[in-house]
């Protein structure tokens, strides 16, 4: 493959990535929380970027609550323990509620919905819903990691005496474990961000801490949305 063909293929992947509304939203989220980190809650250019990007992101999320509503009414994967099913459905319900209420917040901040006090109250309720969904996501990932760890240990015993990394099933489980570990880190960080936005611990979770955690969480989201590299052909 020539250098031009390789460049064209890489640009194609970039275009594929940027064509995703979710990817553009997460890039804007990184800009938003990066600006919050820089401003540390103080007036200035960085805070203006934070506020304007936050408002712009709400347009990306219009009607996005339907996604989690669909996940809420969809059957859980077979074999999933009931506590994890309930936590997963709670996460979907809370996240869907957050995204629905966030639309009302956007209407208030854009001047369409005139009752500003009510819009602020709804905004606070929506953030509590997001914090609840992040806590549920944290517990789900912990539970799923526990299940994966148990199944990997069982497989290791079965593969005793051979190279476990040569086993396709083990490599698949390891890949899932790494993905869920990353999702766990993100869920914990999102919980801290929600605490910061709600100002539940203003002395410890300052605007700079909120911005820092939100920025890293956004980078994780951007990474999770990257397209899978094409599998190399074997002769």
Domain layout of the chain by residue ranges = 3-225
State mean pLDDT over 122-141.
97
What crossing angle do the helices spanning 116-158 and 82-109 adopt, rounded to 10°?
Answer: 150
- SS3 of the chain: CCHHHHHHHHHHHHHHHHCCHHHHHHHHHHHHHHHHHHHCCCCCHHHHHHHHHHHHHHHHCCCCHHHHHHHHHCCCCCCCCHHHHHHHHHHHHHHHHHHHHHHHHHHHHCCCCCCHHHHHHHHHHHHHHHHHHHHHHHHHHHHHHHHHHHHHHHHHHHCCCCCHHHCHHHHHHHHHHHHHHHHHHHHHHHHHHHHHHHCCCCCCCCHHHHHHHHHHHHHHHHHHCCCCCCCCCCC
The answer to whether 10 touches 226, Cβ cutoff 8 Å, is no
In angstroms, rounded to a whole number, what is the distance separating the alpha carbons of residues 211 and 61?
A: 20
Give the model confidence (pLDDT) of 49-73 as tens digits.
999 999 888 888 888 899 999 999 9
Average pLDDT of the chain is 90
Give the tens place of pLDDT for each residue, 176-206.
Answer: 999 999 999 999 999 999 999 999 999 999 9
Token pair for residue 205? 């979770």
- The confidence score (pLDDT) of residue 232 equals 47
CA 38 vs CA 78, 161, 193: distances in Å: 46, 53, 15
The rounded percent of the chain whose pLDDT value lies above 70 is: 96
pLDDT tens digits for range 87-105:
999 999 999 999 999 999 9
The CB density around residue 67, as the number of other CB atoms within 10 Å, is: 14
pTM, rounded to two decimals: 0.89
Residue 182 to residues 69, 141, 151: CA-CA distances in angstroms?
24, 9, 19
């Amino acid at each position: 493959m020539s250098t031009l063909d390789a460049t064209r293929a890489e640009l194609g992947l970039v275009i594929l990535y940027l064509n995703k509304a979710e990817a553009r939203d997460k890039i804007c989220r990184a800009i938003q929380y990066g600006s919050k980190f820089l401003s540390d809650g103080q007036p200035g250019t960085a805070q203006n970027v934070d506020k304007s990007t936050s408002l712009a992101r709400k347009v990306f999320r219009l009607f996005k609550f339907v996604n989690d509503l669909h996940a809420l009414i969809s059957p859980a994967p077979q074999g999933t323990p009931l506590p994890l099913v309930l936590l997963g459905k709670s996460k979907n319900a809370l996240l869907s509620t957050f995204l629905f209420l966030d639309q009302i917040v956007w209407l208030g901040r854009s001047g369409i919905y005139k009752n500003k006090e009510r819009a602020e109250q709804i905004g606070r309720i929506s953030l509590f819903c997001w914090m609840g969904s992040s806590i549920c996501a944290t517990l789900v990932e912990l539970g799923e990691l526990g299940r994966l760890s148990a199944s990997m240990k069982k497989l290791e015993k079965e593969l005793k005496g051979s190279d476990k990394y040569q086993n396709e099933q083990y490599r698949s489980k390891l890949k899932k474990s790494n993905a869920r570990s990353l999702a766990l880190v993100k869920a914990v960080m999102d919980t801290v961000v929600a605490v910061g936005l709600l100002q539940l611990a203003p002395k410890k979770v300052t605007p700079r801490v909120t911005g820092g955690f939100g920025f890293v969480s956004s980078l994780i989201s951007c990474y999770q949305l990257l397209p899978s590299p094409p599998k190399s052909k074997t002769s």
